[in-house]
Structure formats: C-alpha cells, structure tokens
Structure 1
Amino acid sequence: MEILMNKTFAALLLFGMLFPTMAMAQSKSSIVPVMTGAYAPAEGGCNAAAAAFIYIEDKSIAANKTIGTVTSAKKDGASYVLDVLWIEAGADKADGDRDTVRIEVKDDRSFYFSNSASERTLMRWCS
C-alpha cells in the first residue's frame, strides 16, 4: 500500500512539474509573434461569449465561425497589419470579405486587436 501511495505521489508531482512546460511548448504563430491558440477580450476573460474569441493559427486567423486567410502581413513598429480574406463556414473564397486587421503585440500572450468592424481590444491567451 505504501509503495502504491509513493508511486502515485511521484506521478502527481511529475505531472505538476511538467504541466507548465507543456503550456510553454505551444508554438509561436508564424503570422505575428504571439502563441497559437484561442484569445478572448481581457475584460471578458476566457468565459466570454464564443463570438468574442479570436484564434491565431500558424497561417491564418479565425473569429467565431469565420476563417481569415492572411494574404499579407506587414510589420509596422510593434504592430502588424494583416490583409485578411474572411470566409464564413460553408462558403467559398469567392464569397469572402476583404479586411485589414491590426495586431499590436503587447507580449507573447496578449495583443491589441482592431479591424474595420471593431475597436482596439486587448486580447489575452486562453488556450
């Protein structure tokens, strides 16, 4: 019984030590220097409505059920200006809406997001 408890404790301790490193192993986005994954407005937190989430992926950006193909990215100081083609789920590229998205990087887990339809909003990493 004591051996089983020691092994269980050791496994829990090891898992607890590995978890932070597993989170830090998340890859950086190739679009902008933030971690890939889901972001939500800082004031609403990660419990905000799903429509408020923005997903930074390796080659694209998404918001709710809309995928944004990044057609170009330009660095402007600490900001990035992305030309994005938004495509709703189930639609094709011909139905896409062109947009300019500005991402002002605060740190590797947060950024300010703005585009033609929204104000400058601080987004924090949730994944």
Structure 2
Amino acid sequence: MKKVLFVISLLLSLYNASSQTCEEFIDAIKSENYGTTYNSYTSDAISKVTFYEVNENYSTYYFAIVCFKRNYSYGCTEYIYQVASNTKIKYSMNYLDSAGKAFWNYIEPYSDNLECSPDLN
C-alpha cells in the first residue's frame, strides 16, 4: 500500500497530472532529466538501459528505462522501473558479461513498483 501511495504522490508532485500513462511518464522523465545509458550490442533481448536520478521536493528518486529489442525490427520497446539508488552501479558492473542476467538480478525485482513493466514471469 505504501508503494502505491508513494507512486501516486510522485506522479502528482512531479508533473501535476491526475492520470498519466507509462509512456507519458517515460517521456516526462526523459525530457526533464539527463540519464546515463548502457548499450547492450550483443544481447538478444536488451538494446540499452538508461538510468535517471530525479530530485523533487528534497527527495531523490531513481529510475531505469529499459529498451527491449523487437523481433525482426531495429527498434525497441521502452519500459520504466523505479529502482534503488545502487541499482545503476550494480548493473553497470555486470551488464557487459550478460545484460540479461544483470537485468534479472538488479532491475526486474523492481517491476511491481510502477506497474509499467512487461509481465516476464
């Protein structure tokens, strides 16, 4: 319950909107913040992961936007995860060995925080 209230208050305080789609939330994070991107050229599933640090009302929030490769296409589909402050460093130290394994270990456990991620289970 605390997570749901936190996410709702975050969305309202960051963008003054009563309802916002995941795509709109991704666009807002990307347009108003600078991120650090880790490209995964050899991964079958993950194209890149970009981490954002958002400061709002004396609080810091951390997000990862994961771009999953599409079958038979050069594009990718983006999903956003609200992650912990140390997720970026953990992912960055492991993604070159296996971007998929780093994703499952350090980002996917946060998939329920925003309900903006695919159901991979």
- Same fold by TM-score greater than 0.5: no
Between Structure 1 and Structure 2, the one with more strand by share is 1
Between Structure 1 and Structure 2, the one with more helix by share is 2
Normalising by the smaller structure, the TM-score range is 0.3 to 0.5
Which one has a bigger Cα radius of gyration? 1
Normalising by structure 2, what TM-score? 0.35
